[in-house]
Amino acid sequence: MSITIQTKTIKELINELTLSTSKEKDNILSNILIEIKEDKIIGIAANNITSIEKTIETKTDNQLSFIIDPVKFFNILKEIKEETVELELEKNIITVKSSSFKTKIKTQDPGLFPHIKHSENIEKICQIQAKKLKKLIRETIYCPDKNDISREYTGIFIEIEQNYIKATATDHYRLINIKTENTNDIEANFIIENAGAALINRLSLEGEIELYKSENEILIKQENLVVSSKIISGNFPDYNQILLDRSTSNSVEIEKEKLKDAVKRSSILSENKDITAKIDIKEKTLTLIGQNSEGETAEDIINITPIETEKDLNIKLNSKFILDFLNQIEADTVILLYKSAEEPIMFESNEDEYYYKYIMTPIIE
């Protein structure tokens, strides 16, 4: 039995399915399941945390079904320049043909692939533009500590409120919180596994998606796509207790690019940018002094705009953490809130539909 399909179509499908396969090569889930039937190509991939089921429309009257190594299959397909490729399956061997090229790949019986079963007690919690969800995840995923013994700190905390969706992540030393406006069906919250967040971040999702939640997983659904990720049981720490408020904090406005350039210049003495940044705020200036482990220093001074400053600030922070935040925002200015050199500081930034809060703990020596 053979079929002819668009090379680009099958290649893009395989590439995305690979994102949800097991890394254990002896595991059947290191492979993917391909089913071609009724003018559709259905691709399924799964591991112990995530799964993808994607359907693509195609023109064919024949049926094929097989389990295959996606890396090997993709590496062959990416070298084919012709628009179409022919697949012919005989027993457990699939022959890939295109023009003068032909190769054979071993496959496995499709019946060996585990059935992907989702919870029956699952409810829709919201609809959201894919680009919004991806941005929330993309700009928080760098923050969790994937190796933390407390599982709650290894994922991203998603809060679905009546008019907002929030994403929060922390590694104990810093915390990033982003929210965007969205009208939601119900209020809910969950901690998505880091692997699930990474999958959503890398998938080419477009348009509007529906988000569903059960006790132990979330589903993202579109007409021809179902993506699942396990969620982490437990409670995310109450980060609202450490967020700073302008009414009870000192605050200054800083031009983002000037601050970013100053941090970069003061960090030039360290190859890995893991350098202590000493920030000294007095009246309308911010002095930034970078010092590496060898005691070498670099100094930069920039002008700032005081908003509410009852006291000066002299604090030490991790310069890499500062740059992580400044590099991701597009706003022209940031607000720095602080109380004392022994307490966390917070950056605020608003841009278009997104609102950022970034907490950093000081370096106490």
339-351 tens-digit pLDDT: 999 999 999 999 8
Q: Which of 141, 146, 152 lies closest to 199, judged by CA? A: 141
**Would you state the structure tokens that stand for residue 243, as one six-digit string?**
């967020």
CA 241/CA 262 separation, integer angstroms? 31
Q: Give the pLDDT mean for 68-75.
A: 95
**Is residue 129 over pLDDT 80?**
yes
- Please compute the mean of the pLDDT values over residues 41-68 and round it to a whole number: 91
Bridge partners (DSSP) listed for residue 204: none
The whole-angstrom separation of Cα 204 and Cα 208 is 12
Domains of the chain from N-terminus onward: 2-112 (3.10.150.10), 123-239 (3.10.150.10), 242-360 (3.10.150.10)
Q: What are residue 32's DSSP bridge partners? A: 68
Q: Is the confidence at residue 46, as pLDDT, over 90?
A: yes
User: How many Å is the Cα radius of gyration of the chain?
Assistant: 25
Enumerate residues 6+ apart whose C-beta is below 8 A from 295: none
Residue closest to 155 by CA, chosen among 274, 50, 46: 50
Query: Is residue 297 predicted with pLDDT exceeding 60?
Result: yes
Determine the pLDDT at residue 268.
Answer: 79
Q: What pLDDT sits at residue 245?
A: 93
pLDDT recorded at residue 271: 55
The token duo for 23 is 């890394």
Q: Is the dihedral of CA 11, 16, 22, 27 positive or negative?
A: negative
Q: What pLDDT score does 292 carry?
A: 74
**Mean pLDDT of all residues in 203-230:** 95
| Mean pLDDT on 13-29 | 94
Is the confidence at residue 273, as pLDDT, over 60?
no
**H helix runs in 78-151, sequence order:** 130-138
> How does residue 62 score in pLDDT terms, banded at 50, 70 and 90?
confident
Is the distance from CB of 178 to CB of 197 less than 8 angstroms? no
Specify the pairing of strand 208-213 against strand 217-222.
Answer: antiparallel
Query: 238 to each of 169, 175, 246, 250, how far by Cα in Å?
Result: 12, 12, 19, 23
Residue 58, both tokens: 């195609």
Q: State how far the Cα of 67 lies from the Cα of 36, in Å rounded to an integer.
A: 12
pLDDT at 310 over 70: yes
Instruction: Say how far apart CA 136 and CA 131 lie, in whole Å.
Output: 9
Distance, in Å, from the CA atom of 276 to the CA atom of 1, rounded to the nearest integer, reads: 65
User: Mean per-residue pLDDT for 97-118?
Assistant: 92
Whole-number pLDDT of residue 274: 62
pLDDT 10s digits, 232-267: 998 999 999 999 999 999 999 999 999 999 998 887
Instruction: Please give the model's pTM, rounded to 2 decimal places.
Output: 0.91
Q: For residue 272, what pLDDT band results from cuts at 50, 70 and 90? A: low
Distance CA 260, CA 323 (A): 7
Statement: residue 270 has pLDDT above 70: no
| Number of other CB atoms surrounding residue 98 within 10 Å | 19
Asked if pLDDT for residue 218 goes beyond 60, the answer is yes
Cα–Cα distance measured from residue 268 to residue 264, given in angstroms and rounded to the nearest whole number = 6
pLDDT at residue 21 is higher than 80: yes
Using pLDDT thresholds of 50, 70 and 90, give the confidence band for residue 139: very high
β-pairing, 276-282 with 84-90? Answer: unpaired
Amino acid letter for position 143: C
